[in-house]
Amino acid sequence: MKKKIGVSYTEILFKNYWNWFTHEDLKDEFELVELSFEKNNTPDIYKCDGLVLTGGVDVHPSLYKGADTYNNSPELFHLERDVFESKIYHYAQLNKLPVLGICRGMQLINVLEGGKLIQDLDNGNERHKKEQTDKEHVINVESNSLLNKVAGSDTGHVNSAHHQAIDPSAIGSNLKVNAFENDDEKIIEGLEFADKTNKGFMLCVQWHPERIREKEYNPLSENLKKEFMAAVRDTHNKKLVITNPANDEIIAALNEDSRESLVKKIELLHSSQATWDSESIVYRVEVIKKFSALLEENIEQLASVLSTEVGKPLQQSRNEINGARSRIKWMADNAERFLSDEVMTITEGLQEKISYEPLGVICNISAWNYPWLVGVNVFVPALLAGNAVMYKPSEYSTLTGLEIERLLKKAGVPENIFHMAIGGKETGEILVQMDFDGYFFTGSFKTGKHIYETVAHKMVPCQLELGGKDPLYVCDDVKDVHSVATATADGAFYNNGQSCCAVERIYVHERIYDEYIYAFIKEVRSWKAGLPGEQAVHIGPLTRKMQLDLLEEQVQDAINKGAKLLAGGKRMNKKGNFFEPTVFTNVTHDMLLMREESFGPIIGIMKVKNDAEALKLMQDTEYGLTASVYSDSKQRAEKILKQLNTGTGYWNCCDRVSAAVPWSGRKHSGIGSTLSHQGLRAFTKPKAWHLKIS
């Protein structure tokens, strides 16, 4: 895989940077990634092995408490560029990636390290300011510097095109000057780290090596580039490779987080959380509402990222994002009501109240099947309540995770209040060992149990939203068997059955059984399977290839034990993770299909004699997420649902979630609740106040 160099620049003279790096000899080894604040393509930063910050308009004075106006100040600053490039620089430092800072890039790095700038060089402008062509002068390179080693010389000849400079009385912390102009004014020409222990390669120069005359022969251009590239070549970032489940093609390779970068992130979260908590709840609600507005604005792009990464049909991706927005709306509208202090008793001389304090820094390890929905269930109420969040999306939905991070920050969530952890199981394991004030996990029972056991000794809340084997019963009194069959088929197969609350087992009263099966199969056969972007596609590829093996095992086991296959039963004969929608009858509870979570487009349907038999079968599971009864009688349905140990009961509906009521599993389906007022308060610690007025 080629090493990737991210170059952040604006339109002006960008070709010089491009040409500098794309020398013929290097093309097989390196690839350039355009990083552009105008496109705000933050996710691309995470693909890079080395980063270059380039020249351009002055850094915004607010970043270093400089005067608003000064000689030669530009008509327009690019504050958004400063913010975007700050992200790049901080990312590079978190991951010890090689960095080159050129001209403005150097000035920004000095500012980001706490230094200041001379806003205008006045007389010095005669020697430095860009006019028709760059100016030129001699520099002295400090002995004992990295630059000296790279240049192989104490002196050199460089070009000049700037009117600002590094303020010698305000050099950023841990930076040192490595070159000065050979003139009485001693303009600073280069910076590097003073103490390089535990730091990646970093060189900053005031000149423009990418366009200097005879750059191939000038060591202050050619050697600089070569050393930077050698440092990039020497990076060993573990990559998270993301493939498109519809065609098996690689769509991205992202740097995984290391233990070290995660330690730094959690430190930043801990040190910043109190500031976020000190904001009013009204302010935090505004930020979250802005986030929701950004989802609406960007829905087509976000849906496309989601479909490409997890394979769901494009319309289902749009539905998911809209679903996330309606959950956010409920939480934002109700946050103030449920997170503000509650006065419980007022008597003469005494007030008793409850306040809801944030847990602190919480860890959110998430699943891929509905990354927007399951993510929003956790990080939105956590942020509303004043927590800082470490969010680990599933390795199968990380590109969506990056979009979530990008838009939360754009909406106004401060940089160190939300961090993302990139990686899979190993990254999750590291997080579980770290010190968080609460763990909120969505995923499989196996992983959830492991996390619960591992964090138990920390004595902090640990909430689990896990899998299910959700039953559905169709009573003999339903008025329209055909429409019930259609709706319940959708409950089983929507999102290819990859929903925690997908219908996983169906029981049908014998009086309507034949009619139901006929209509159910007719519905399943009507669906179009295909690429997520195709018109009217209902069945896309499964997200994870390994799920195909599990489905094949369930099919074979069911056939071996006497089940009758009415539809599907195998992989589709095409590229990607496609599996035919599969329907079995004549099933029993001895079969894997009726006991273990399938999480795919497969269903077993059983004929039952009466409600008692249906109830007994529905109860026969280790899971307890949802259960559904279709009947003309609310009373009859409620009587059955009350006897089931599940977090949710559905009458005449299934596979749905509402932000107004708690989302919770029992037994192997989890512990604790998200959504509703319970879910808002799940991220808080109640404090009891006894206030006695003497």
Q: What residues form DSSP beta bridges with 137?
A: 158
Q: What is the DSSP string of 221-265?
A: THHHHHHHHHHHHT----EEEEE-TTT--EEEEEEPPPHHHHHHH
Task: Return the DSSP state at 579.
Answer: B
Residues in Cβ contact with 448 at an 8 Å cutoff, skipping those fewer than 6 apart? 441, 464, 466, 670
Distance of alpha carbon 282 from alpha carbon 284, whole angstroms:
6
Within 13 Å, how many C-alpha atoms sit on residue 148's CB side? 13
> 439 or 513, CB closer to ligand NAD?
439
The answer to whether the beta carbons of residues 551 and 565 sit under 8 Å apart is no
The answer to whether the beta carbons of residues 145 and 176 sit under 8 Å apart is yes
Per-residue tokens: 685: 């610690």
Sequence length of the chain is: 694
> 54 or 646, CB closer to ligand NAD?
646
> 292 or 547, CB closer to ligand NAD?
547
Backbone angles phi, psi at 464, to 5 degrees: -130, 125
Distance of alpha carbon 165 from alpha carbon 175, whole angstroms:
15
Q: How far is the CB of 681 from ligand NAD (least distance, A)?
A: 18
> 189 or 596, CB closer to ligand NAD?
596
Per-residue tokens: 176: 């040192």
Q: How far is the CB of 370 from ligand NAD (least distance, A)?
A: 6
Q: How far is the CB of 651 from ligand NAD (least distance, A)?
A: 20
Task: Return the DSSP state at 280.
Answer: -
Q: How far is the CB of 380 from ligand NAD (least distance, A)?
A: 15
Q: How far is the CB of 282 from ligand NAD (least distance, A)?
A: 29
Residue 65 burial by Cβ neighbours in a 10 Å radius (0-12, 13-18, 19+): exposed
Distance of alpha carbon 382 from alpha carbon 363, whole angstroms:
10
Distance of alpha carbon 638 from alpha carbon 632, whole angstroms:
11
Q: What is the DSSP string of 630-690?
A: E-S-HHHHHHHHHTS--SEEEES--S---TTS-EE-EETTEESEESHHHHHHTTEEEEEEE
Q: How far is the CB of 503 from ligand NAD (least distance, A)?
A: 13
Q: How far is the CB of 426 from ligand NAD (least distance, A)?
A: 8
Q: Which amino acid is at 68?
A: D
> 448 or 576, CB closer to ligand NAD?
448
The answer to whether the beta carbons of residues 56 and 10 sit under 8 Å apart is yes
Catalytic choice (48, 103, 204, 500) = 500
Residues in Cβ contact with 560 at an 8 Å cutoff, skipping those fewer than 6 apart? none
* Strand, coil or helix: 141: strand
* Strand, coil or helix: 45: helix
Residues in Cβ contact with 462 at an 8 Å cutoff, skipping those fewer than 6 apart? 438, 439, 440, 441, 451, 452, 455, 456, 671
> 541 or 665, CB closer to ligand NAD?
665
Q: How far is the CB of 578 from ligand NAD (least distance, A)?
A: 19
To the nearest 10 degrees (0 to 180), the angle between helices 314-339 and 371-384 is 20
> 255 or 447, CB closer to ligand NAD?
447
> 221 or 398, CB closer to ligand NAD?
398
User: What are the start-end ranges of the H helices in 311-457?
Assistant: 314-339, 371-384, 398-411, 425-433, 445-455
> 178 or 398, CB closer to ligand NAD?
398
Q: How far is the CB of 439 from ligand NAD (least distance, A)?
A: 9
Catalytic choice (189, 222, 465, 597) = 465
* Strand, coil or helix: 279: coil
Q: Which residue's CB atom is positioned nearest to ligand NAD?
A: 428
Task: Return the DSSP state at 218.
Answer: -
Residue 424 burial by Cβ neighbours in a 10 Å radius (0-12, 13-18, 19+): middle
Q: How far is the CB of 374 from ligand NAD (least distance, A)?
A: 5
* Strand, coil or helix: 656: coil
Residue 653 annotated to the active site: no
Residue 515 annotated to the active site: no
Q: How far is the CB of 589 from ligand NAD (least distance, A)?
A: 20
> Sign of the CA dihedral 465, 262, 1, 39?
positive
> 307 or 394, CB closer to ligand NAD?
394
Backbone angles phi, psi at 394, to 5 degrees: -65, 150
Cβ atoms within 10 Å, residue 105: 26
Residues at the interface with ligand NAD (CB under 6 A): 365-369, 374, 392, 394-395, 424-425, 428-429, 432, 442-444, 447, 450-451, 465-468, 500, 597, 599, 625, 665, 670
Catalytic positions are 465, 500
